[in-house]
Amino acid sequence: MVGPVAIYILGTAGCGKSSLAASFSGYLSEYGYKHMLVNLDPGADLIPYEPDIDVRDWVTLADVMEEYGLGPNGAQIVASDLVALNRDKVLKGIDVDMDQYVLLDTPGQMELFTFRESARELVKGILPSRSFMVYLIDPFNARTPSGLISQMMLSSLARLRFQLPSAEVISKSDMIEPAQMERLTRWLENPDTLHDDSMEEASRTSNMAPELSVNIFRALESLGLFSRVFPVSSQTKEGMEGIYRAVQYVFSGGEDLPQGEPTSDEEE
Ligand SMILES: Nc1nc2c(ncn2[C@@H]2O[C@H](COP(=O)(O)OP(=O)(O)O)[C@@H](O)[C@H]2O)c(=O)[nH]1
Ligand SMILES: [Mg+2]
């Protein structure tokens, strides 16, 4: 590794981003990999780790609401832009000569971060060409074929917006019921079954022609996305090594893998 690698953690509100930042940080510490934690969420209340850089030092949702006389929704938009304006302060806190992972925990409202131009400028300005994205799919949003397809679509939109290499993971794997896990595994390992179940779902529940979900499905499948998805849990640490490997694969051609086995017995 030459210099730092930024790892952005993205996903819809409550999918487990901050928990993953804490848990993956624990994994990196366990193997002695230098890293730092950056909180980019101005609306975060309690976060389960001690950030090395915290945008709340400069912008908080509560202050924006008060100063601009805005409700929480409007304030999210303004705060998101204000965070981006503080990009240089974030950058100042990162030692660009050090080999390290920089974990960036993104705002709760993924839509804002992904679709605001200001957030794109932020990402472009921090370690361009040395950045990676971990997209978390909340298993509660992936119980139906259209749910999973929508999540994969969102992750693809984030990739499109940020133009970053990525890993897509299903979060909170420790909470997934065996029947749902079996279904998810089947869909991801054999997308034909997702196609069939999606057709069935569309014909049963929609007034629209099933072509919509099927065409979206086909676009995602042609990108080879489904087979890459794997489960992670911030509680059991399942999948942490998978994330590490995915990052390594992009930035070091798969070299420099951790020594020994993780202590978690959840690893396959
Ligand atoms: N059981 C379990 N709960 C989790 C996991 N990850 C997150 N959570 C819980 O999900 C909720 C939202 O997590 P958080 O990390 O704050 O999500 P964020 O909004 O995406 O940052 C919290 O109550 C977490 O304790 C996990 O891997 N397993
Ligand atoms: Mg969070």
Residue pLDDT, tens place only, 165-189: 999 999 999 999 999 999 999 999 9
Vertex 35 angle, CA 31 and 36, to 5°? 145
Query: What percent of the chain lies above the pLDDT cut of 90?
Result: 78
Ligand 1: which atom is nearest the Cα of residue 136? 20
Q: Is 136 exposed, middle or buried (0-12, 13-18, 19+ CB in 10 A)?
A: buried
Nearest to 13 by CA among 121, 154, 111: 111
Q: Residue 260: is its pLDDT beyond 50?
A: no
Q: Residue 234: is its pLDDT beyond 90?
A: yes
Which ligand number lies closest to the CA of residue 12? 1
Q: Residue 160: is its pLDDT beyond 50?
A: yes
State the pTM of this model: 0.93
Average pLDDT estimate for 135-163: 94
The dihedral through the CA atoms of 91, 93, 98, 102 has a sign that is negative
Ligand 1: which atom is nearest the Cα of residue 233? 27
Confidence of residue 206 (pLDDT cuts 50, 70, 90): low
Q: Residue 238: is its pLDDT beyond 80?
A: yes
Nearest CA owner, ligand 1 atom 8: 16
Which residue type does 79 have? A
For residue 267, what pLDDT is reported?
40
The dihedral through the CA atoms of 86, 54, 130, 149 has a sign that is negative
Q: Residue 26: is its pLDDT beyond 60?
A: yes
**Residues 112-133: tens digit of each pLDDT:** 889 999 999 999 999 988 999 9
Nearest CA owner, ligand 1 atom 26: 172
For residue 252, what pLDDT is reported?
83
Average pLDDT estimate for 182-205: 91
Test site for ligand 1: of 19, 24, 140, most ligand atoms within 8 A of the Cβ: 19
Domains of the chain: 5-174+226-252 (3.40.50.300)
Unique residue bearing structure tokens 């366990």: 30
Ligand 1: which atom is nearest the Cα of residue 236? 27
Average pLDDT estimate for 238-254: 92
Ligand 1: which atom is nearest the Cα of residue 171? 27
Q: Residue 257: is its pLDDT beyond 50?
A: no
The set of protein residues with a Cβ atom below 6 angstroms from ligand 1 is 11, 13-19, 108, 171-172, 174-175, 233-235
For residue 268, what pLDDT is reported?
37
**Residues 38-65: tens digit of each pLDDT:** 999 999 999 999 999 999 999 999 999 9
From residue 99, how far is each of 133, 160, 177, 230, 251 by CA, in Å?
A: 18, 27, 39, 27, 12
Nearest CA owner, ligand 1 atom 25: 19
Which ligand number lies closest to the CA of residue 48? 1
List, edge to edge, every strand of the sheet that includes 53-54.
53-54, 35-39, 101-105, 5-11, 131-137, 166-170, 230-231
Distance 15 CA to ligand 1 centre (A): 6
- The span from the CA of 168 to the CA of 61, in Å, is 28
Nearest CA owner, ligand 1 atom 10: 16
